[in-house]
Amino acid sequence: MRNTTRRRILQGAAGLAAATALMPSPLIAANNPLQIGIVGKVKIPWFDNVAKGVEKAGTDLGVTASIINPTTDDPAEQVRAIEDLIAKKVDVIGVIPNDAKAVEPVLGRAQAAGIKVVMNESPGQKNADWDVELIQDQAFGEAHLESFAEAIGGEGKYVLYVGGLTVTLHNLWADYAVALQKKKYPKMQQIGDRFGVSNSVEDSYKTAVDQMRAIPDLKGILIFGANGPIGAGQAVADREMIGKVIVVGPFIPSQGAKLMKQGAITRGFLWNPIDAGYAMVQLGKILADGKTPADGMDIPGLGPVKVENDIRTIRANKMLDINPGSIDELAKLI
């Protein structure tokens, strides 16, 4: 009887130990130093700057932080990169997704493996722990629309670029812009559907040329996606349409300074991608250390942030105004 009881106790203890071993520990990081892997959208200048922030945060915070920037914006490439990071057993994975739904399953597998998941440009992402944003989405979309409307005189035909039809925030910003246009500037007319081209300078250039040919009275191109203004602006310059076709949208100042000084790009707004990379790593470290984001906490480069618990999003307000008066100083920064 005594032996039977002892066997049952040992069997129960062994079973508990096995079950515990299979459960991820949300509070204790597996690696020392902490390992954080970020996956960008595609290898373009914007994400080269995100990489600078990732690397700086790694140095400042004493963690091993790196970034993978896929060669194309095919969501399958991001999925493969995330799978590689899961296999390497990193502590935190951060993603700026091309297609939020496409990465849901693999993010779920990361969480099941005990890996913390942080996002940028994907508030409310399924199978993620938290998202960090450097701007207020509605204000960002509407600021571009107001500047665009002012530049084209509040009326006329325009076309709209986004990075891709599945890029969540590009389309959200466009939604806010179009809603304001319809409400406040009814004489403005969007022609056709959104063009998912602004992740590529070449595609943005070609689409601008095609649209200027197809729409002789085109007044402008409103863009969300940092390569879009570069391609469209160059097309406007090459076609000698500066001042006739207006280009407004976010872009890397050092990449577009010449075009803005020529008048081929009129204005844009953005945040510092270096800060975005830094913020993702810092957020990842906070979570891996078992801490919870708190309203008003300070993130270097961002200052005090607002925490939106319902969509698990940390939000700063760091929108930069790119215009002829600010372009030189901003080009020195990014």
125-147 pLDDT, tens per residue? 999 999 999 999 999 999 999 99
Rounded CA separation 164/98 (Å): 7
| pLDDT tens digits for range 238-281 | 999 999 999 999 999 999 999 999 999 999 999 999 999 999 99
Total residues belonging to the chain: 334
**pLDDT > 50? residue 16:** no
Rounded CA separation 51/68 (Å): 9
**pLDDT > 90? residue 72:** yes
Higher pLDDT: 22 or 123? It is 123
Q: Round the average pLDDT of the chain to a whole number and report it.
A: 92
pLDDT for the residue 177: 98
Q: Which of 178, 236, 226, 249 is nearest to 205 (CA)?
A: 236
**pLDDT > 60? residue 15:** no
Rounded CA separation 249/247 (Å): 7
**pLDDT > 60? residue 5:** no
Q: Strands 313-315, 306-308: parallel, antiparallel or unpaired by DSSP? A: antiparallel
What's the rounded mean pLDDT across residues 192-216?
98
Furthest C-alpha separation in the chain: 96
Rounded CA separation 205/238 (Å): 10
Cβ neighbours of 258 (radius 10 Å): 15
Residue at token pair 């409103």: 222
pLDDT for the residue 298: 87
With 0-12 CB in 10 A as exposed, 13-18 as middle and 19+ as buried, what is 88?
Answer: exposed
Q: What is the DSSP letter of 124?
A: T
Residue burial 201-218, b: 16+ Cβ < 10 Å; e: rest? bebbbebbbebbeeeeeb
**pLDDT > 90? residue 28:** no
**pLDDT > 90? residue 226:** yes
- Decide if 161 contacts 152 (C-beta within 8 A): no
Residues 6+ positions from 136 with CB-CB distance below 8 Å: 315, 317, 319
